[in-house]
Structure 1
C-alpha cells in the first residue's frame, strides 16, 4: 500500500510540474473604495471557478502570477463591502493591470461564497449540496459562549443536543447518539475527533471562536471527498489569517454559572510574513449534578473488603439522586462528581508566508488543557478530570497544489472517572495525517478537476482501562472530482474516493450531481452519494468490566454483573443517499432553500446492548482476575457489545427561509421533517429495539435579527423540539418536548471597544436534551473586547 501511495503522490507532483510549465501570464491590481478612491487593504480576490486567489496587502495592492492564458472573472470580496466581479484576460508572458472598486455593503443574498461542497469557492446558490453558512456578525454574536456547536444550532436540518457545558452531539438527518460522529468536524482541514471514540471534544480547541472566519454545515453524505465519517455531513470550519486581524485584542467576560473568561491575542505583519499568538481560558460551573450521596471516597476495590462491601451495596441500591424520571438500575452511579468548575486553558501561535503570486504557507501549533467536563457515554457518564490536547499544522497552497500536514494528541494528565463503575479511564493517543490535493481547469475553464490522496497514522494506549494493549493503525485514501459546465445554466459533478484501513474493510465512495439554473438566482440540483462510518476503537476493542453491578454480599453467591466488550468483526456502516434540492433568491429580499432526501443505511452499527457479542451471545463467566488481582473467584457477567444490524430507510425534507424586511432587519425560519423504516427481515425483536433514530419527527426554528450598519446588532432565536424517544447504551427514555429562546447582540462603543451579550435559554426553561444527560437552564454571558 505504501508503494501505491508514493506512486499517487509522485503522479500528483508530476502533473503539477507539467501544468506549471504551460503558457501563463500575470495579473496586477489595486483595490479601492468606489467613491473616495481610498485604497482598501485585505480584500479577498479569487478567479471564479478556480482555486487561484490572493488578497490585497496593507496598501491595497495584489499580484497573481503564473495564471494560464485565458479569460477569467475576478471576484473581489471584503467584510462590509459588496462583492464585485470583473472580467480579465490573461495573455502569454504579459501583465494585466486591473483596478477593483468596491462599495459599502448592501443586501446581496446570491453572493455568499462556500467551499466545503466542492473543495473550491463557489456561490452558495451553485453548490451541489445542501449547505448553510455562519460568518461575520452572525458568528461573532454567539462566539462569546465558547461553545462552537451553538454557532449552527438554528440552521436547517441540524440535530444538536447538549448535556453539561461542552458535551454536545451534532448530527443531521437522523440517528443521533451520545458521542455522535456521523458529522465530520474539520478546522482548517484538521479532524477534531478524538482517536478512541472519533467524537469531538468541543472544548479542546486552542483558538477562540471570535478568530473563526466562517462555519459551513454541509448536509448529506460526503465520503467521496472527505472519506470516513463524512456520513451525514461535514462541518467545515476555517480560521481567520493573521493579516486580517492586525493589532492587539483583549477580551474579558463574565456570566452565569460563575463563568469567567479572558483572552489576549496579538497579530502583526512584516514583509510577506504575518503572525498571531493568543492565550486564554474559560472557567464555569456545569449543569451536571452528582447522582449519588456521599458515603466513602473508596472505589471498586472495596467490594472485596468485608468492611466496606455492604457500604457499596447500600450506595448502589439506595443512594441515587436522579434529576428526572425514567432512570433504571443500569444508570446507577457510585462515584461522585469532582466538585470543581469546568475549565479550558489554551495557547496557540500561527505564522503565514504569503507569496507574491498568491500562494501561502502556514505553520501553527497550540495546546489546550480541559478539566472536569462530564460526558454522557454508552457505558454511563464519564468525568474528564484533566487532559491536554496539543496540535501542530503545516500547510502550503499555490499553483493549484494544496498540502496539509497535521498532528494532534490527547494526553490524560489525570485519569477520567467512570461515574457508573468508579473505574479510572485513560485515552492517550496521537493522530498524524498528511494530505495533498491538486486542482486544474481545462477546456477554457469549463472543466474543473481536483485529485488528492491522504494517509493517517493512529497510535493509542488506554493503559488497559478501555481496551487491552496498545494499537498502531493506519488509514489512507485517494480521491478525485471532476466538474464540467455544459453551459452557464448547467453543470455536472462526479467524484469518487477509495479508502483502506488496518481497522476495517476498504470502501469505495462515489458521487454524482447535476446543478441546473434555468433563471438567474434560481438553482435546482439532484445528487447521489455513498458514504461510510468506520467503527471506532470502542466499538471494536472495548474491554470494561463493571466491578459490582449486581453484587449482594461479600464473597456471596455469583450474581449477574456487566461486561462491556467491543466487536472486532464489525463492518463499516454504509449509507446510500439520493437528494434533490432548490435554492433561490426572490427580489433580492427572500432566500429560500428546499431539500428532500432519501437514504438507505446498511450494516447499521447498533448501540451498546446485551447479547450482541458474536463470541459470547449470552451471560458468561469472567474471572475476578480480569479486573483485580487476588483469588480466582468468578462472577457471572452479562456481556454488552455492538453488532451490525440490518437495513434502515430514512427520508425527509428541510425548508429554510431568510426574508430581508430591510437591509438591517431579517426574519429567518426553517422546518425539518424526518421519518425512518426498519427492514425487519432476519432481525430479532431485541435487535429492532436497538435501532433508535434519537431524533424528533420534526423540529423548527424561528428568528429575527436587526443589524445596524455601524453601531449594534441584536438577534432572537426560538427553537422547538417535540417529544421523542432516546436510546444509547445504558440510557433509554423519553425526551420531553422543549422550546428555548436565545438572545444575542453586540454594541460597538467606539473604534476600540465593543460589547457582546449572549443568553442561551433566556426564559430558563428547565429541560434535558439527552436521556441520561444534565438538566439545562439559562446561561448568560457578557464580554468586552478592547482592540488597539
Structure 2
C-alpha cells in the first residue's frame, strides 16, 4: 500500500506500518509505499504510526497466497504526552506519563537537527535537570542533579542495552558512537538514582539510546556535510529485507574530520591568554605559570615553557557497523550486530590533567533475543590505544587494552488479570584491563574482574488510578562488597494524561580502576638534598653517620635524596559511593497541544572518593628512618623531617612522605570521606502554538546554598563543589511546514558557578548560547540542512580546565534512495 499526508496527498517516508498482535512490521519508502510479508490469513488490523501524526488503524481481510492493497492517509497533530512510551524507568515499555521516574525523551526532530554537529551532548542538553559541559569538539561530560566532573560516570549510558563506558575510567567517549544521531530511533533519559534495576554507576540517571532495526529504515541514506574548523563528515546507511521478510540487515559507515577548539598550553601564559577572551574578570583567570610539557600532536616547542608552533593534527573518527535481525513466526526477534570505531587526536580533561588520545580503536559486538515475555543478550566492548595516549601535563605515555563482556537475561509477566507486572533479571559481567604498567603497577595490571547481579521489579495497580512499584537489586563483585539497591514508588493517575508520583531510590558508584590501582608520576621528582644537609648539620647529625651521604631520602637502592619520586597511587581498599534520593513529580498534558512536567528532588550522597591527597591511604604510612639510624633517634628524626617540610610550606611532601616498596617517595592517593545533601526543581514544558510552530523549554533550580550548608566530614584538603549552576534554562522555537521547510532557534542560559575536579579548580562564567538549525526537504529523496552552534560566537569554557568553545557553522545534504 501507500501512505500519504491528508492535507496535500504527499507521500510520507518512514511511517511505521504493523499488523496488530504480530511481529510483522515495516516502514514506508521514499514513495510512501510499503510491503508486509508473511501476514497471517484472516481478519487483520493494520496500524499506521508516525510521531506528530494521528494514528490510523485499518481492518483488512487477508487471503492465503494473495496480495491485498491497503492505503492510508495521516493527519498532522501535536505530539501528545500520553502517546509516548519509554523503557528506561522500568526496563519494560510503559507510557511516559505513568513511568515511576523523572523521564524525558529527545524527539526525532532534535536528533535530526543536532546530527550535523556529530555531538550527542547538543541533543541531550535541552532536557530538564541535565548538565552538559563541552571541551574541544567531542569531550562531553553529561550529568544530572549536581556533582558533574571531568570524565563523569554518574550517568549510565546504554546503546541497545550495551554499556558505552570504557573499562579503565568508567566514563564515556562520546566521539565513539557507532551511528549518527539521526539514525537513533529513540533517546530517553531517566534522572535520579537507578541502581535498583541497572546496578553500579546508574548513580544520577540513565541515558537509553535505541537504534532502529532494518524494517524501520528500509533503503539507503547518504549524508554529506561540512563547514567551519575545516569540518567534513559523511554517513551512509543501507537497510533491506531478504528471505520473504524473515531476515533484515542494516549497514552503517561514517567518517568525520575537523580541527578543534583545543589549544596547546606549553608556553608561559598560554592558558591565561586562552581564557582571557572568555571573561572580563581577571581574578578568575588561571595561573600564567601553569603549563603543560607536551603540545598537541602535530605541534612542536623549543623547550619547556615555550609556546607551541605548527598546526595541530585534525580530529578524525571512522566507524562501521552491521546488524542482522531474524523475525521468527512467534513474534520474537534474534539480532546480531557489531562493528568498530576509530578515534584520533581528541583531548580529554581529566582529574590529573589533559590527555590526548592519538589513536584508539573501539570494537564491539552484540547478540540479543527479544520476545514479548523475555530478553536475552550478550555483548562485548573493547578499547585499544593503537598509539600512546599522552598526558599533556607530564608527557607520560598511557596505554590501555581493555574489554568488557556482559551476559544478561530478563523476563516479565503480568498477573492479577493484568493489574500487576513483574520484571526479573540476572546478569554477569567480566572486565579485563591491561595498561602495560603505564597506569597500574605490574602486580595489579593485566587483570580480570567479575560481577554478578539479580534484580526484580513488581508493579501493582492497587486501584485503577494508583500504581505501586517496588524494586530490589543485589550486586556482588570482585572489586566491592555486596550491595543491595532498593526502589519504591507510587504513581497516581487521576486521568490518562496526568500523573503524580512519589519515589524513593538508592544507588551506588564503584571506584574506577584508576582510583583503585593507579600508579603514575604525579609531578617532577622532589629534591631533598638541602633538607638532608641541614639534618646532618643539626644535633641529629651523628645519628646519620651510618647512612651514605646523599641517600637519606633515596627513592631506590643506590638512589639520591635529590631525586625523590612523587607518585599518584590508587587505593584498593576504597568503598563505593552511595546516594539515597527522594522525589515528587508531576507529568501532564493540557489539552491536545501542551504538556508540563515538574520534578522536585532531594538526595543524600556519602562516602565520596576524594581527589588525590597526601597522607590519606593507610597502605602508605608516614616515612620511616633508614635501618642504619639507631632506634633511639628514629622518632626525633622523623618528626624533624616533617617539621622542616611544614616550615618550608611543602604540605604535600610533609603529609605524603612515605615508603613504597621500601624506597622513599611522596604519595598522593584516594580515600572515602564526607557526605552532602542536595535538592532542586526541574521543569519541562512544550506548547504546539499552531500546526507548524512549537515552543519548548526547561528550567532547573539547584539549591547551591543548601548544598554548601550540608557538606559534612570532608577529608582535609579535599574540595567539594556541586559543579552545576544554581539556575539553568533552555528555550526553543521550532517551525515545521507542510512544504518541507523546518527551522529552529534554541537558547541555553547558564548561571556562573565554581568548578572543582582534580587539579582543575576555578570559576565558570555565565553563558547565553544560541543555536540555529534549519532544513528544506526538496522531496522525499533530498534534504538540505544547516546548523550554527553558538550563533553569536560567545567564547566560553564550560568546565574549568576545558577548551574555550566558539561558533561553528555547518551545512549538509541528505539523500534517500
Q: TM class by shorter-chain length?
A: 0.7 to 0.9
Find out whether 1:770 has 2:799 as its counterpart: yes
Residues 17, 46 of structure 2: 8 Å contact kept: no
Cα deviation for residue 32 of structure 1 reads: 7.4
Distance 1:287 1:526, change over 3 A: same
Cα deviation for residue 39 of structure 1 reads: 12
State the structure with more CA Rg.
2
Q: Which residue of 2 aligns with 1:510?
A: 486
Aligned counterparts of 1:499 and 1:762: Cα–Cα separation in 2: 47
Give CA-to-partner distance per residue, 1:700-751, whole Å, 9 cap, x none.
1111111113402111111111111111111111111111111112210122
Cα deviation for residue 251 of structure 1 reads: 1.4
Distance 1:691 1:741, change over 3 A: same
Give CA-to-partner distance per residue, 1:418-457, whole Å, 9 cap, x none.
0000000012100010111111122222111111111111
Q: Which residue of 2 aligns with 1:450?
A: 423
Mark the runs of 5 or more structure 2 residues left unpaired by the alignment: 29-33, 61-67, 276-283, 298-311, 531-558, 622-654
Aligned counterparts of 2:468 and 2:47: Cα–Cα separation in 1: 22
Cα deviation for residue 780 of structure 1 reads: 1.8
Q: Which residue of 2 aligns with 1:365?
A: 338
Find out whether 1:538 has 2:533 as its counterpart: no
Q: Which residue of 2 aligns with 1:415?
A: 388
Q: Which residue of 1 aligns with 2:294?
A: 335
Find out whether 1:158 has 2:130 as its counterpart: yes
Find out whether 1:323 has 2:274 as its counterpart: yes
Distance 1:660 1:564, change over 3 A: same
Aligned counterparts of 2:236 and 2:447: Cα–Cα separation in 1: 39
Aligned counterparts of 1:40 and 1:254: Cα–Cα separation in 2: 25
Q: Which residue of 2 aligns with 1:244?
A: 216
User: Which is worse superposed, 566-575 or 113-122?
Assistant: 113-122
SS where residue 137 of structure 1 aligns? helix
Mark the runs of 5 or more structure 1 residues left unpaired by the alignment: 1-29, 66-72, 89-96, 294-316, 627-631
Find out whether 1:195 has 2:152 as its counterpart: no
SS where residue 616 of structure 1 aligns? coil
Distance 1:553 1:667, change over 3 A: farther
Aligned counterparts of 1:374 and 1:471: Cα–Cα separation in 2: 27
Distance 1:210 1:39, change over 3 A: closer
Show the 5 A alignment for 1:497-646: 497-546=473-522, 548=524, 558=562, 562-616=566-620, 618-620=655-657, 637=666, 639-646=667-674
Say which of 773, 781, 802 aligns to 1:752. 781
Residues 16, 216 of structure 2: 8 Å contact kept: no
Distance 1:331 1:731, change over 3 A: farther
Find out whether 1:353 has 2:326 as its counterpart: yes
Cα deviation for residue 487 of structure 1 reads: 3.3
SS where residue 717 of structure 2 aligns? helix
User: Which is worse superposed, 242-251 or 415-424?
Assistant: 242-251
Say which of 129, 145, 148 aligns to 1:173. 145
Cα deviation for residue 757 of structure 1 reads: 1.1
SS where residue 120 of structure 1 aligns? coil
Give CA-to-partner distance per residue, 1:112-164, whole Å, 9 cap, x none.
22121112222221111111111322210101111112111111100000001
Residues 271, 290 of structure 2: 8 Å contact kept: no
Find out whether 1:495 has 2:454 as its counterpart: no
Give CA-to-partner distance per residue, 1:144-195, whole Å, 9 cap, x none.
1111121111111000000011111000000000000000000000000000
Q: Which residue of 2 aligns with 1:732?
A: 761
Cα deviation for residue 81 of structure 1 reads: 3.1
Aligned counterparts of 2:397 and 2:521: Cα–Cα separation in 1: 12
Cα deviation for residue 322 of structure 1 reads: 5.3
Aligned counterparts of 2:164 and 2:740: Cα–Cα separation in 1: 35
Give CA-to-partner distance per residue, 1:391-441, whole Å, 9 cap, x none.
011111124111111111100110100000000001210001011111112
Aligned counterparts of 1:701 and 1:364: Cα–Cα separation in 2: 36
Distance 1:611 1:328, change over 3 A: farther
Aligned counterparts of 1:569 and 1:258: Cα–Cα separation in 2: 48
Residues 270, 288 of structure 2: 8 Å contact kept: no
Say which of 213, 229, 246 aligns to 2:185. 213
Show the 5 A alignment for 1:41-56: 43=16, 55-56=25-26
Distance 1:151 1:553, change over 3 A: farther
Say which of 761, 776, 779 aligns to 2:808. 779
Residues 133, 141 of structure 2: 8 Å contact kept: yes
Residues 446, 485 of structure 1: 8 Å contact kept: yes
Aligned counterparts of 2:289 and 2:468: Cα–Cα separation in 1: 52
Distance 1:45 1:265, change over 3 A: closer
Say which of 245, 253, 274 aligns to 2:248. 274
Give CA-to-partner distance per residue, 1:273-332, whole Å, 9 cap, x none.
111212211000111100014xxxxxxxxxxxxxxxxxxxxxxx7887652254348953
Residues 271, 288 of structure 2: 8 Å contact kept: no
SS where residue 661 of structure 1 aligns? strand
SS where residue 325 of structure 2 aligns? strand
Cα deviation for residue 615 of structure 1 reads: 2.8
Aligned counterparts of 1:759 and 1:581: Cα–Cα separation in 2: 35
Cα deviation for residue 265 of structure 1 reads: 2.0
Q: Which has the higher strand share?
A: 1
Residues 283, 342 of structure 1: 8 Å contact kept: yes
Q: Which residue of 1 aligns with 2:258?
A: 284
Residues 182, 232 of structure 1: 8 Å contact kept: yes
Find out whether 1:673 has 2:685 as its counterpart: no
Residues 770, 789 of structure 2: 8 Å contact kept: yes
Say which of 108, 119, 122 aligns to 1:147. 119
Distance 1:320 1:243, change over 3 A: closer
Q: How many residues align?
A: 708
Cα deviation for residue 46 of structure 1 reads: 9.7
SS where residue 150 of structure 1 aligns? helix
Show the 5 A alignment for 1:474-493: 474-493=450-469
Give CA-to-partner distance per residue, 1:81-107, whole Å, 9 cap, x none.
32368999xxxxxxxx9x997733311
Residues 31, 43 of structure 1: 8 Å contact kept: no
User: Which is worse superposed, 559-568 or 669-678?
Assistant: 559-568
SS where residue 274 of structure 2 aligns? coil
Give CA-to-partner distance per residue, 1:46-68, whole Å, 9 cap, x none.
989xxx86535775648899xxx
Aligned counterparts of 1:551 and 1:160: Cα–Cα separation in 2: 42
Show the 5 A alignment for 1:9-88: 43=16, 55-56=25-26, 61=36, 77-79=49-51, 81-83=53-55
Aligned counterparts of 1:45 and 1:484: Cα–Cα separation in 2: 30
Cα deviation for residue 613 of structure 1 reads: 2.5
Find out whether 1:686 has 2:714 as its counterpart: no
Q: Which residue of 2 aligns with 1:305?
A: none
Residues 31, 40 of structure 1: 8 Å contact kept: no
Residues 400, 439 of structure 1: 8 Å contact kept: yes
Find out whether 1:122 has 2:123 as its counterpart: no
